[in-house]
Structure 1
Amino acid sequence: MIRINPVSGAGPLTQAMATAASGMSSQAVRMRVAAENIANAASTAAVPGGDPYRRKLLTFGRMVDRGTGAQLVRMDNIRPDPRDFRTQFDPAHPAADEQGYVKLPNVDPLIEQADLRSAGRSYEASIAVMQQARALYGKTLDILRA
């Protein structure tokens, strides 16, 4: 027996689809931020002694959709990673400070690639949930028609 949420009129399949859709949206943002971090892994400052690109971090939270009663994933914010920059001795570099050191971004491409893969797998899992919910909708309609 399918139970309908009396407040919203939404059933568990609608809630599952809403949750999966919010997960897909959140993972898409996560992939975009990881790709941006990878793209800027070698971006140094434009001026001598300046700061290079700073890695971006995402935080997620959850909320309840008032329309469906579904638990949703939401992005809280994108913030800079507070870790220190790496330094490299290269006095010929245009961004080198007075001592000849260049600040390099605090981005580790291997960590970003792992995060990108993890986000991709989570996105695919949300797609599978959506497909399963659609299939269950179809079967429910078939049963009701009979």
Structure 2
Amino acid sequence: MTIFGAIGIASTGLTVHRKWLDAVSDNLANISTVRATSEDAFQQKYVVAQAMQDGGVQVAGVLEGSAEGRLVHEPTNPLADEQGYVRYPDIDMSSQMTQLIMAQRGYQANAAVVDRAKETYAAALQIGR
């Protein structure tokens, strides 16, 4: 593998981890989004990654969780139905925080690979002078 190959593969990892961070951030931002029971709850997003033939990884798609959510009794909420229920997304905060940490660490690792490859390339240029 060449230095440029390492940069290319690491950049695909950066892209996937950035998309994963975006999805987790979106999930966390909408964890308290309330909707009427007649509407769908916010749907949690899951990033699906797949290996590429020439190395690296790519986003194969973004799946969405259940639109059913969870019903919460909040009779004072303006969106409450006749029985006093509203719909919240079924998102687990601890799971999302764990995924956030994993995505951050993956992004950092790929960024470090790009930095090391650039340093190696710069050192090789210095040797050639």
Q: TM-score, normalised to structure 2's length?
A: 0.86
Q: Could you say which residue in structure 2 is the equivalent of 1:6?
A: none
Counterpart-to-counterpart distance in 1, 2:60 and 2:19: 11
3-state SS in 2 of match to 1:71: coil
**Which structure has the larger Rg?**
1
| Conserved? CA contact 2:67–2:89, under 8 Å | no
Shift of residue 83, structure 1, vs aligned partner: 7.7
Q: TM-score, normalised to structure 1's length?
A: 0.77
Q: Which of 41, 44, 49 is 2:34 aligned to?
A: 44
Query: What are the equivalent positions in structure 2 for 1:79-118 lying under 5 Å apart?
Result: 79-82=63-66, 84-118=68-102
3-state SS in 2 of match to 1:74: strand
Shift of residue 122, structure 1, vs aligned partner: 0.8
| Conserved? CA contact 2:46–2:62, under 8 Å | yes
Shift of residue 37, structure 1, vs aligned partner: 0.6
Q: Could you say which residue in structure 1 is the equivalent of 2:47?
A: 58
Whichever residue aligns with residue 62 of structure 1, its letter is: A
Q: Aligned residues: percent identity?
A: 26
Q: Could you say which residue in structure 1 is the equivalent of 2:61?
A: 77
Whichever residue aligns with residue 58 of structure 2, its letter is: R
3-state SS in 2 of match to 1:49: coil
Q: Could you say which residue in structure 2 is the equivalent of 1:31?
A: 21
Whichever residue aligns with residue 36 of structure 1, its letter is: D
Q: How many residues align?
A: 129
Given the alignment of the two structures, is residue 122 of structure 1 paired with residue 122 of structure 2, yes or no?
no
Structure 1 gaps, min length 5? 1-10, 65-69
- Let me know the Cα RMSD of the aligned residues: 1.9
Whichever residue aligns with residue 29 of structure 1, its letter is: K
Structure 2 gaps, min length 5? none
| Conserved? CA contact 2:16–2:59, under 8 Å | yes
Counterpart-to-counterpart distance in 2, 1:31 and 1:115: 8
Counterpart-to-counterpart distance in 2, 1:110 and 1:83: 20
